[in-house]
Structure 1
Amino acid sequence: MGSTKRTLAKEGLPRCWQSFDPSQPTPITSAIKEEVRKAGIPAGLRADFYFVASGAHKLAGDAPAGYYTALAASTADLSDDVIFAVEDDIRVARILHKDETRLFSTAKGAETLSRVIFAYLRRGGGSYWKGLASVAAQLLTVFGREREEATFWTLVALLEHRFFPHAGGHVPAGARVEVQVLGQILQQRQPALAALLAKLCPEPVELLAGTWFSTAFARTLPHQVVLRVWDCVVVEGPKVALRVALAIIKMCTSSIQSCTSMDVLCRVVEGRLSRCTDADALLAIAFKGLGSLSGSSIDAIRARVLAAAQQQHAAAGGAGARARPILLPPSAPMFVLGGSGGGGGGALTRSSGSSDGNGCGVASSGSSRASPWSSPKGHTLLGSAS
Structure 2
Amino acid sequence: MAKIENGRKSVDTRSIRTISSSHIDDESSLGSDSEINGFTSDRQTDKYGFIGGAQQYSEESAQDVPTEVLRQREVKWLDMLSHWDKWMVKRHNKVRLRCQKGIPPALRGRAWLYLSGGKVKREQNQGKFQELDSQAGDPKWLDVIEKDLHRQFPFHEMFVSRGGHGQQDLFRVLKAYTLYRPEEGYCQAQAPIAAVLLMHMPAEDAFWGLVQICEKYLPGYYSPGLEAIQLDGEILFALLRRVSPIAYRHLEKHKIDPILYMTEWFMCAFSRTLPWASVLRVWDMFLCDGVKIIFRVGLVLLKSMLGTREKLKACQGLYETMELLRAIDARYMQEGFLVREILELPVTAREVEREHHSQVKRWKKIRGELNFKSPPRMHGARFIMLAEPPRRQDLQQNPTIVVEASQPTPQLKKSKEEKSKKKKSVKKKQPIEEIPNPYPLLSDPPPPPKEPPAPPPVSSEMPQIPQQTLIDSPQQEHPPPTDLSLAKESPLQQSTQSLSSTEQDTYL
Shift of 1:17: 2.3
Residue of structure 2 equivalent to 1:159: 214
Q: Does 1:58 align with 2:120?
A: yes
Query: Given residue 200 of structure 2, which amino acid in structure 1 is its aligned partner?
Result: V
Cα pair 1:228 1:279 within 8 Å, conserved:
yes
Q: Does 1:183 align with 2:243?
A: no
Q: Distance in 1 between matches of 2:235 and 2:73?
A: 37
1:101-142 Cα offsets, whole Å, 9 max, x none, are: 335436222111011111122212315333321111111111
1:28-66 Cα offsets, whole Å, 9 max, x none, are: 6322212322x3111111111111111111222232x42
Shift of 1:268: 2.7
Over 3 Å counting, the alpha-carbon distance change for 1:196 and 1:11 in structure 2 is closer
Q: Does 1:258 align with 2:314?
A: yes
Of 298, 316, 325, the residue aligned with 1:269 is: 325
Q: Does 1:17 align with 2:17?
A: no
Q: Where do 1:145-224 residues align within 5 Å?
A: 147-162=202-217, 164=218, 167=220, 170=223, 172-203=226-257, 205-224=258-277
Cα pair 1:131 1:215 within 8 Å, conserved:
yes
Shift of 1:93: 0.6
Over 3 Å counting, the alpha-carbon distance change for 1:268 and 1:35 in structure 2 is same
> Who wins on radius of gyration, i.e. which is larger?
2
Over 3 Å counting, the alpha-carbon distance change for 1:276 and 1:294 in structure 2 is closer
Q: Does 1:280 align with 2:336?
A: yes
1:250-306 Cα offsets, whole Å, 9 max, x none, are: 221265553134344333322226786522211111111x3x323222211111112
Query: Given residue 132 of structure 2, which amino acid in structure 1 is its aligned partner?
Result: L
Query: Given residue 111 of structure 1, which amino acid in structure 2 is its aligned partner?
Result: Q
Q: Distance in 2 between matches of 1:242 and 1:155?
A: 20
Cα pair 2:190 2:222 within 8 Å, conserved:
no
Residue of structure 1 equivalent to 2:360: 306
Over 3 Å counting, the alpha-carbon distance change for 1:50 and 1:193 in structure 2 is same
- In the alignment, structure 1 segments of 5+ residues that lack a partner are 1-9, 328-386
Q: Distance in 1 between matches of 2:363 and 2:144?
A: 28
Residue of structure 1 equivalent to 2:421: none
Cα pair 1:89 1:131 within 8 Å, conserved:
no
Over 3 Å counting, the alpha-carbon distance change for 1:298 and 1:199 in structure 2 is same
Over 3 Å counting, the alpha-carbon distance change for 1:72 and 1:257 in structure 2 is farther
Query: Given residue 161 of structure 1, which amino acid in structure 2 is its aligned partner?
Result: K
Q: Distance in 2 between matches of 1:311 and 1:134?
A: 35
Residue of structure 2 equivalent to 1:325: 372
Residue of structure 2 equivalent to 1:249: 302
Of 49, 60, 73, the residue aligned with 2:134 is: 73
Query: Given residue 284 of structure 2, which amino acid in structure 1 is its aligned partner?
Result: D
1:186-227 Cα offsets, whole Å, 9 max, x none, are: 123433321211233351x22111211111111221222111
Q: Does 1:237 align with 2:296?
A: no
Over 3 Å counting, the alpha-carbon distance change for 1:185 and 1:117 in structure 2 is same
Residue of structure 1 equivalent to 2:348: 294
Q: Distance in 2 between matches of 1:184 and 1:119?
A: 37
Range with greater deviation from structure 2 (11-20 or 296-305) = 11-20
Q: Distance in 1 between matches of 2:317 and 2:131?
A: 48
Cα pair 1:89 1:130 within 8 Å, conserved:
yes
1:221-260 Cα offsets, whole Å, 9 max, x none, are: 1222111111001111111111111111122126555313
Of 90, 94, 97, the residue aligned with 2:149 is: 90
Q: Distance in 2 between matches of 1:87 and 1:29?
A: 41
Number of residue pairs matched?
A: 296
Q: Distance in 2 between matches of 1:227 and 1:75?
A: 33
Over 3 Å counting, the alpha-carbon distance change for 1:59 and 1:308 in structure 2 is farther
Residue of structure 2 equivalent to 1:126: 184
TM superposition score normalised by structure 1: 0.68
Over 3 Å counting, the alpha-carbon distance change for 1:277 and 1:141 in structure 2 is farther
Residue of structure 2 equivalent to 1:47: 109
Q: Distance in 1 between matches of 2:150 and 2:209?
A: 22
Residue of structure 2 equivalent to 1:348: none
Residue of structure 2 equivalent to 1:109: 166
Over 3 Å counting, the alpha-carbon distance change for 1:273 and 1:76 in structure 2 is farther
Aligned partner of residue 93 in structure 1, secondary structure: coil
Cα pair 2:278 2:333 within 8 Å, conserved:
yes
Identity of aligned residues (%): 21
Q: Distance in 1 between matches of 2:74 and 2:124?
A: 32
Shift of 1:75: 4.3
Over 3 Å counting, the alpha-carbon distance change for 1:274 and 1:158 in structure 2 is farther
Range with greater deviation from structure 2 (262-271 or 235-244) = 262-271
Over 3 Å counting, the alpha-carbon distance change for 1:207 and 1:103 in structure 2 is closer
Q: Distance in 1 between matches of 2:319 and 2:149?
A: 26
Query: Given residue 277 of structure 2, which amino acid in structure 1 is its aligned partner?
Result: Q
- In the alignment, structure 2 segments of 5+ residues that lack a partner are 1-69, 375-508
Residue of structure 1 equivalent to 2:35: none
Query: Given residue 355 of structure 2, which amino acid in structure 1 is its aligned partner?
Result: I
Range with greater deviation from structure 2 (271-280 or 210-219) = 271-280
Q: Distance in 2 between matches of 1:225 and 1:218?
A: 9
Q: Distance in 2 between matches of 1:193 and 1:136?
A: 33
Cα pair 1:160 1:168 within 8 Å, conserved:
no
